[in-house]
Amino acid sequence: MSIAGGHSVFALPPDLDRSSRVAAHLLIERWFSEALGAGNLVAGDRLPREADLADYFGVSRMTLRQSLAELESRGVLQRLRGRTGGTFITEPKIDCDLTGFAGFTEQLRRAQLRASAKVVRAQTIRAERVMCQALALAPGALVHEVVRVRSAKRAPLALEHSYFPAAIFPDLLDHRLTGSLYKLLVKSYQQEPTTAVEFLEPAILTPIQAQLLQASASDAVMLVERTASTAAGLPIEYARDLFRPDKIRISVRSGISTLR
């Protein structure tokens, strides 16, 4: 069936493999994923009413709601209440996998997006205690501070605060700082970060941070605190990155031990 007055994608019968043993709600989620991948549905599109969608897919409203709830939890769509509300397609969140050790530029490349960086501040400062502890520096040692806004499709995604030992990277601030900093460390200094210890916790944006991320003041974000080291165990970066949770989804893969 087609939905009168609805999006053109709903003018064609739904392509669901009902011969498979896959549950109906999973087939509907797969249908939406394929429609988004083909560009038949894009961010901002408004979906038909639940009753019409249930009839279109030939399922109960309970089954449909199960699919919509899962798609909403994955950031694929948003359901708004009120007179002007409805169900809308949203920009899918970008997955950042902390299991391996890939910089932000590489993470976005895997998502088939081009990362950009705007340098907010680049200066040499005296390391604070937490930086000295993370980077194994003597009190009062110098570090290069690089603060950048990372974006994709002109939308700010993260605010990075990175600190590098000045003794190891003496002229770091003389280089171009809008590309991958990790590639710069390897190419210019032969220092490759290969491992990192990272801590995740929620944080609240300050007014200045909110302005840089084009978010609302006091919005909650995800803070990732990281100390990156070379294969020899030399710590070369301490960072505190703020990620917009409405744009970025952070994942970690883990194995399951057979021991209890």
Alpha carbon distance 6, 9 (integer Å): 8
Separation between Cα atoms, residue 111 and residue 98, nearest integer Å: 14
Query: What is the CATH T-level fold of the domain 94-251, as seen in this structure?
Result: Chorismate lyase (3.40.1410)
pTM, two decimals, is 0.67
C-alpha 126: how far from chain center? 31
Q: Judge whether 212 and 120 are in contact, CB under 8 Å.
A: yes
- Per-residue pLDDT, 239: 96
For residue 161, the model assigns a pLDDT of 97
Supply the pLDDT for residue 5.
Answer: 47
Per-residue pLDDT tens digits of the chain, which is 260 residues long: 444 445 677 877 777 777 778 888 999 988 888 888 778 888 888 999 999 999 999 999 999 999 999 888 877 888 888 777 788 888 766 666 666 655 666 666 665 567 789 999 999 999 999 999 999 999 999 999 999 999 887 889 899 999 999 999 999 999 999 998 999 999 999 999 999 999 999 999 999 999 999 988 888 899 999 999 999 999 999 999 999 887 777 767 666 555 55
Domain 8-89: top CATH class: mainly alpha
Sorted by where each begins, the domain ranges of the chain are 8-89, 94-251
Neighbours of 147 (CB within 10 A): 18
d(CA 131, CA 122): 16
How would you class 154 by CB atoms within 10 Å of its CB: exposed for 0-12, middle for 13-18, buried for 19 or more? exposed
Show the tokens assigned to 151.
């974006």
